[in-house]
Structure 1
Amino acid sequence: MIIDGLQCGHFDRAAFEALRAGTVGGVVNTCGFWEGAIESMDSIGRWRDLVRENSDIAEIALTADDISRISAQGRLAVIMGFQNANLFQGRIRFVEMFAELGVRVVQLTYNNQNELGGSCYEIEDSGLTRFGREVVREMNAAGILVDCSHVGDRTTLDAIKVSEKPIAVTHANAQSLFFHKRNKSDDVIRALRDTGGVIGCAAYRNITGDEFCASIEAWCTMVARTVDIAGIDSVAIGTDKSHNFTAPDYAWMRQGRWTRGEDYGASAAGRPLKAPPPAWFQKVEDMKVIPDGLRTVGFSQEEVAKITHGNWLRLYEATFRKP
């Protein structure tokens, strides 16, 4: 089984079928980027409808045991997540309420600083705010995993210190392997290691680089070098794969409502709107090559199991509250 720590886009039955064909047993979706509370509830409602209509192949998972059970049945475990904390809308009590609606993973900030802390794209990372500290503790209590993928390094380190439970960087890479503002410093990765957290290695070309996208062996070599920094118990998969994205989707993701101008996110002027996928990852089903790729670069069967699903399951068991 493979667990993917973060995907996004417009899922449908075909996406569910492709994930299962790729031996994916669990995936964290993206219910929202910039949406407030009501829009976020609308998104959760749509996801519930989609999964209900496809219950023969998918089910929303609330616990680590749910993921193992659903996958063992040959179905896809959908883990509901958000890439920003806007859904809480400045209200501490909303954290528990969204947890009760099934949300299990929330990123503290997206591409901009917010009420909780700084993002990776701000010139100055302010660190975790007073409200951010309250939200992290409330997420711990409510059973929501703290995600710091697009979060600034200072704010991420603050979150690791404040959190009573291990946290995640669900979809990023090591900055020492490929320099990008979205990627994480070795200090952050070591802090994850020291506190039981997990980094999900991404396959998004703009933050992975052409070298590591050239083949499955090249990407797995990047994973192996990440293990050199983080240790075998703190590295997993978080491809950042998108489904059925169009130009308006990219505009919303990168610009939201906060700017009238162009914002390229992890891309840059002159680059294609959609980054070409890795050579080995042309379609979702291609995820099935990851275990053999990891073995090819020297990982044992036990280590492959940790990277493909075991480390996520351990972290989910430590952070998701049983309903």
Structure 2
Amino acid sequence: MRNDAMIFDGLQCGHFDRAVFESLLKGTVRCVTVTLGFWENAVESMDSIARWREMARANADIVSIAQNAADIDRAVAEGKLALLLGFQNAMLFEGRIAFVELFADMGVRVVQLTYNNQNDLGGSCYEEHDSGLARYGKEVIREMNRTGILVDLSHVGNRTTLDAVKFSQKPVAISHANADSLYPHKRNKTDDVLKALKDNGGVIGCATYRNIAGDHYCASVDNWCDMVARTVEIAGIDHVGIGTDRSHNTTQKDLDWMRTGRWTRGIDYGAGSAARPGKAPPADWFRDVQNIGEITDGLRRKGFSAEEVAKITHGNWRRVYEASLA
């Protein structure tokens, strides 16, 4: 495999199984952050960790759970898929600062500060008013930095995101989002946020999720790579990666849980809308999981050098992992 052909995906979700793992490996993915939860409390989150450990043991010939960059390197050398355990909300900490270290000890390596709602750490992208990073949010970031958990800001409001980028002493991630200036959406990030990411040393993982990428950028891999190239113009070649937000084997029940959890009896469309209420179809070029491997050639066709392609496909993520998972 060429060095620039290997892919690290900053976030995927859904129900994984051996077939998914095999498809990712066929698509040259060698590291992926998997979503273990959205609205779950501490005990439910521990149940999810236990399930993932059991699944990793059952598929130990092709996957391994990684704790740091060295573990990822080892998995790559063995031809396996490295799994980083992540959560898309900080509810697993339940307001207890000591739980950050406990979950780090259990192997959690990526946590998003907020999901789709305001919480006690800060503001969400969907709140009418973004409160900014709370005092407790600062304490959690400080503890995540100390214990080797990467701070994820994907669904976080832009003001809270800027606060977190500036406060964190280690590189942060916007694991699965796009530039708002390229496709306007509340889930996407404004240019000032992406430029601040440079000073922090962090990475944005460009997403293929149709609701936040749009039909044009989903129409072909070349169109999507054009979005990546334009994101590089904003954030810099060292701060852009891949974070597809690909969902595996999800049902309407899963979608309802992601969008409404336990917090409402009403209807919430998440990143969708009344006009597009259901599950968004995958990008036209990304119908099969292994199609992710087409990104590499797409980036080459955009004129990126082999070194630049390698940075986007995996190198920038590895640098952040080495700095933040230690």
Q: Please tell me the TM-score bracket, short chain as reference.
A: over 0.9
CA distance in structure 1 between the partners assigned to 2:232 and 2:213 by the alignment:
16
Root-mean-square deviation (CA), in Å?
0.6
Structure 1: which amino acid aligns with 2:162?
Answer: L
Matched, 1:239 2:244: yes
Matched, 1:215 2:220: yes
* Equivalent residue runs for 1:164-183 within 5 Å: 164-183=169-188
Matched, 1:99 2:89: no
Tell me which residue corresponds to 2:139.
Answer: 134
CA distance in structure 2 between the partners assigned to 1:54 and 1:277 by the alignment:
26
Deviation at 1:67?
0.9
CA distance in structure 2 between the partners assigned to 1:272 and 1:17 by the alignment:
31
| Secondary structure of 1:48's aligned partner | helix
Matched, 1:312 2:313: no
Deviation at 1:166?
1.2
User: Structure 1 vs Structure 2: percent identity of aligned residues?
Assistant: 68
Residue ranges of structure 2 left out of the alignment (5+ in a row): 1-5
Deviation at 1:279?
1.1
Of residues 55, 63, 68, the one that matches 2:68 is 63
Tell me which residue corresponds to 1:301.
Answer: 306
Residue ranges of structure 1 left out of the alignment (5+ in a row): none
* Equivalent residue runs for 1:157-168 within 5 Å: 157-168=162-173
| Secondary structure of 1:6's aligned partner | strand
Deviation at 1:160?
1.0
**Superposition TM-score, scaled by structure 1 size:** 0.99
Deviation at 1:193?
1.2
CA distance in structure 1 between the partners assigned to 2:258 and 2:66 by the alignment:
25
Tell me which residue corresponds to 1:250.
Answer: 255
Of residues 14, 19, 23, the one that matches 1:14 is 19
| Secondary structure of 2:132's aligned partner | coil
Structure 1 residues 140-172: Cα deviation after superposition (integer angstroms, max 9, x where no partner) = 001000000000000001101111111110000
Structure 2: which amino acid aligns with 1:72?
Answer: A
Q: Aligned residues, how many?
A: 321
Of residues 269, 292, 295, the one that matches 1:290 is 295
CA distance in structure 1 between the partners assigned to 2:59 and 2:177 by the alignment:
30
Deviation at 1:272?
4.8
CA distance in structure 1 between the partners assigned to 2:274 and 2:102 by the alignment:
40
CA distance in structure 1 between the partners assigned to 2:35 and 2:177 by the alignment:
15
Deviation at 1:205?
0.4
CA distance in structure 2 between the partners assigned to 1:210 and 1:26 by the alignment:
27
CA distance in structure 2 between the partners assigned to 1:71 and 1:93 by the alignment:
33
| Secondary structure of 1:140's aligned partner | helix
Contact kept? 2:116, 2:155, Cα under 8 Å: yes
Of residues 156, 181, 187, the one that matches 2:161 is 156
Deviation at 1:276?
1.4
CA distance in structure 1 between the partners assigned to 2:58 and 2:282 by the alignment:
30
CA distance in structure 2 between the partners assigned to 1:243 and 1:266 by the alignment:
17
Tell me which residue corresponds to 1:225.
Answer: 230
Structure 1 residues 106-165: Cα deviation after superposition (integer angstroms, max 9, x where no partner) = 000000000000000000000000100000000000100000000000000110111111
Structure 1 residues 68-127: Cα deviation after superposition (integer angstroms, max 9, x where no partner) = 210221111000000000000000000000000000000000000000000000000000
Tell me which residue corresponds to 1:263.
Answer: 268
4+ residue runs over 2 A deviation? none
**Superposition TM-score, scaled by structure 2 size:** 0.98
| Secondary structure of 2:35's aligned partner | coil
Of residues 81, 84, 90, the one that matches 2:86 is 81
CA distance in structure 1 between the partners assigned to 2:154 and 2:60 by the alignment:
30
CA distance in structure 2 between the partners assigned to 1:123 and 1:72 by the alignment:
47
Contact kept? 2:269, 2:277, Cα under 8 Å: no
Tell me which residue corresponds to 1:115.
Answer: 120
CA distance in structure 2 between the partners assigned to 1:84 and 1:119 by the alignment:
10
Structure 1: which amino acid aligns with 2:106?
Answer: L
Distance 1:32 1:146, change over 3 A: same
Deviation at 1:270?
2.7
Deviation at 1:235?
0.1
Structure 1 residues 197-249: Cα deviation after superposition (integer angstroms, max 9, x where no partner) = 10000000000011111111000000000000000000000000001000100
